[in-house]
Amino acid sequence: MSAKADEERRRIKSNIMQQPQNASVAQANAPVPQHQAAAAGQKVADDCSIAPEKIYRNHAEAPIRKLTCDLIKTYKNINESFYLRKALRRQEHQANIQANHNSSTTTAGGNQLHNTTTAAHTQGTAPNVSSNLDVQHGSAPKGLPHFDTNAPPASQMVVPAVPESEANRNRQKSSRGGPHNGGYDDENYDYILKDGECFNTRYIILTEKPIGKGSFGQVTRAYDTVAKEDVAIKIIKNKKTFFDQAQIEIKLLEMMRAHDTERKYNVVLLKGHFVHRNHLCLVFELLSYNLYDLLRNTNFRGVSLNLTRKFAQQLTKTLLFLSSPELSIIHCDLKPENVLLCNPKRSKINIIDFGSSCQIGHRIYQYIQSRFYRSPEVLLGIAYDTKIDMWSLGCILVEMHTGEPLFAGSSEVDQMMKIVEVLGMPPKELLDAGPKTHKYFEKTEDGVYYCKKTRDNFNKCYRGPGHRKLHDILGVTSGGPNGRRAGEAGHSVEEYSKFKDLIKRMLTYDPKLRISPYYAVRHPFLRPKTTSQTGQSSAAVDSPTVSFV
């Protein structure tokens, strides 16, 4: 027992020995025989030693409570220290950028270029512009030849120099505690672009007008000093998985280029490729804005049926080209964002982004296609082929005319339910073959499938299967979507009926029964219309012209 408890026990015993035992003063003062007093004192002492007053523990000092409080304080201190260090790093990073920006000058670069040029002429040789530009040429992977960019010295001399010291000073550092790729990459393994930097001794980076960014990397505009034209450079992330997939994209693009020497099939042109500081770079022709930008320009009211037809004619021809036995290429990501106008004032288009593409028999991924344009066989986990691109095209054409996605699901379950609303239940044979059928449907003892209630769609209300009619969505007999095209030339009930028939064939559940590109290009809706029939030029885009380039 602790010293404190012993002291308390002695104090209690002393008080008991000195305190009167009864309230009566007379009785308290009465004499007590000596042997009785000794016995009484011994009894009290024994009682105190056997059953002292209970000492209660302070709850604030209880081990569990103390441990819990200390843990909370510890975690709080850790969090405060972490966010404080993070804020300090951010401040230091911004201060370094500002300091580098203020201190960078072109004097050193000019002197360096002048000295190198003078020395080279003194020796009677052309100056090595590549060394002045600090361009490090990575070696291409085996089987991936470099893009030949050897240009005359006179052409190389027009490239402005970026001194090595200045380029290194302006490089940002990663927030992970150190530089990535020698300070040339950010924490996402994307190359840190600098305006005016030279790639492969000929491409001057123009960062003022960025093109786009995605999971694969980034696309930037650049000026080709040899061809004297602007180009788009797709810079792949410095990670092996993206590098390997980009090699497949290059292979497919080169195959298509070899089979389309006359440029008739609306596929973006790959001009070349090279490796720059461990980043695989693909050089493309520079195109205009995409079909989603065009829809946004119409305030999402859609384009005319005539322009929709022009896009459909080109895209079905492209799918016919891709599905040819020599290629057998599946795009795997057809959507409005991946269809670009070649010129903002014309209706000619090109398909881009073959980064997810593959050939039949060489399928790599199960999770493909953007959700709004994902085919039933992909949703159900069934083996797929080129027909999934035809499904995506059907969704795109409806969206281009109505201005809204046909199946705008918020999840895969919601996507399937929205498809069922329009097209009804999928065929039993398709559901029986789907490894992921149980995700969307349940089956009765009689073998009849019905839509399943899940967490993804529990609070959502859907129309019955097939109750949202494609006829009404397109406005076949009511003047187009929401009656917006009533009375317009080229928007008759007959034309809408042809359009609806084509869409239904493109959106057939069973890929074996879905219309093929061969028959799609011959569909009545896609037969070319003359200028007198459409009332306008067959080339001009019938929407306000907005130059995005």
Per-residue pLDDT at 130: 33
Per-residue pLDDT at 82: 72
Per-residue pLDDT at 367: 87
Per-residue pLDDT at 42: 52
Q: How far apart are CA 233 and CA 353, in angstroms?
A: 12
Give the 3-state secondary structure of residue 185. strand
Per-residue pLDDT at 170: 46
Per-residue pLDDT at 100: 53
Q: How far apart are CA 248 and CA 254, in angstroms?
A: 10
**Per the annotation, where are the binding residues for ATP?**
234
Q: How far apart are CA 166 and CA 454, in angstroms?
A: 58
User: Residue 162 is inside which H or E element, if any?
Assistant: none
Phi-psi region of 217 (alpha: psi -120 to 50; beta: other; left: phi over 0): left
Are 17 and 41 spatial neighbours (Cβ–Cβ below 8 Å)?
Answer: yes
Q: How far apart are CA 352 and CA 267, in angstroms?
A: 7
Beta strand extents in 125-278 (DSSP E only): 198-199, 203-206, 212-214, 217-224, 229-236, 270-276
Per-residue pLDDT at 68: 54
- The DSSP secondary-structure symbol of 158 reads T
Per-residue pLDDT at 62: 55
Q: How far apart are CA 89 and CA 83, in angstroms?
A: 10
Residue found under tokens 């029939």 = 533
Are 401 and 395 spatial neighbours (Cβ–Cβ below 8 Å)?
Answer: no
3-state secondary structure 130-154: HHHCCCCECCCCCCCCCCCCCCCHH
User: Residue 449 is inside which H or E element, if any?
Assistant: strand 449-451
Annotate 47-108 with DSSP letters as a single string. Answer: HHHHSPPPPPPPGGG-HHHHHHHHHHHHHHHHHHHHHHHHHHHHHHHHHHHHHHHHH--SHH
Backbone phi and psi for residue 131, each to the nearest 5 degrees, phi listed first: -70, -35
Per-residue pLDDT at 144: 37
Where helices occur in 373-506 by DSSP H, the ranges are 376-380, 387-402, 412-423, 428-433, 470-474, 493-506
Give the 3-state secondary structure of residue 408. coil
Burial class, 289, CB count within 10 angstroms (exposed 0-12 / middle 13-18 / buried 19+): middle
Q: How far apart are CA 141 and CA 251, in angstroms?
A: 13
Partner residues linked to 280 by β-bridges: 275
Per-residue pLDDT at 529: 66
Sequence letter at residue 266:
N
Per-residue pLDDT at 18: 54
Phi-psi region of 327 (alpha: psi -120 to 50; beta: other; left: phi over 0): alpha
Tell me the whole-structure pTM to 2 decimals.
0.67
- Domains of the chain with CATH codes: 131-285 (3.30.200.20), 291-534 (1.10.510.10)
Q: How far apart are CA 125 and CA 22, in angstroms?
A: 125
Backbone phi and psi for residue 388, each to the nearest 5 degrees, phi listed first: -65, -30
Per-residue pLDDT at 414: 96
Burial class, 525, CB count within 10 angstroms (exposed 0-12 / middle 13-18 / buried 19+): buried
- The DSSP secondary-structure symbol of 128 reads -
Sequence letter at residue 247:
Q
Partner residues linked to 204 by β-bridges: 198, 223
- C-alpha distances in angstroms, 510 versus 108, 138, 230? 67, 47, 44
Per-residue pLDDT at 96: 63
Weakly modelled stretches of the chain, pLDDT under 70: 1-76, 79, 91-178, 529-549
Are 305 and 485 spatial neighbours (Cβ–Cβ below 8 Å)?
Answer: yes
If one counts every other C-beta atom within 10 angstroms of the C-beta of residue 77, the result is 10
Per-residue pLDDT at 218: 97
Catalytic residue among 224, 333, 389, 456: 333
Hey, CA dihedral for 428, 431, 437, 440, is it positive or negative?
Answer: negative
Hey, CA dihedral for 24, 27, 30, 31, is it positive or negative?
Answer: negative
Q: How far apart are CA 278 and CA 235, in angstroms?
A: 10
Are 397 and 481 spatial neighbours (Cβ–Cβ below 8 Å)?
Answer: no
Per-residue pLDDT at 365: 79
Task: Tell me if residue 333 is catalytic.
Answer: yes
Residues whose CB falls within 8 Å of the CB of residue 70, separated by 6 or more in sequence, listed in order? none
320-347 residue pLDDT tens:
999 999 999 999 999 999 999 999 999 9
Per-residue pLDDT at 425: 98
Per-residue pLDDT at 16: 53
Per-residue pLDDT at 72: 67
If one counts every other C-beta atom within 10 angstroms of the C-beta of residue 512, the result is 9
Q: How far apart are CA 506 and CA 490, in angstroms?
A: 22
DSSP-based helix, strand, coil % in the chain, nearest 5: 45, 10, 45
